[in-house]
Amino acid sequence: MNKANLPTYAPDLNPQEGIWSLVKREIGNLAAADLTQITRAVKRRLKRIQYRPDLVDGCLAATGLAQED
């Protein structure tokens, strides 16, 4: 499936949705005092995900889309 054939809005076909789901799962119960704390927590979680290619690959695999080399 190429981009031209994708529906306008298809979150289940977007690997970014899986990444954000992982981030939201961790910070969902965060009692932040301000936006700076939330930003810091999101950046920290994204940095950890960056070093876990298995998580990124899992988010891509969940879409069912083929990865081009």
> pLDDT tens per residue, the chain (69 residues)?
555 666 667 767 777 888 888 888 888 888 888 999 989 999 999 999 889 888 888 888 888 776 665
**Tell me, what's the pLDDT at 19?**
87
Q: Is the residue at 69 inside a domain?
A: no
In a domain, 6, yes or no: no
Q: What is the pLDDT of residue 34?
A: 92
Domain ranges, residue 17: 11-63
Residue 36 domain flag: yes
Residue 44 lies in a domain: yes
As for how many domains the chain has, the answer is 1
pLDDT for residue 2 = 57
Q: Which residues contact 55 (CB under 8 A, 6 or more apart)?
A: 19, 22, 49
Q: Note the pLDDT of residue 47.
A: 93
Q: What is the pTM of this model?
A: 0.66
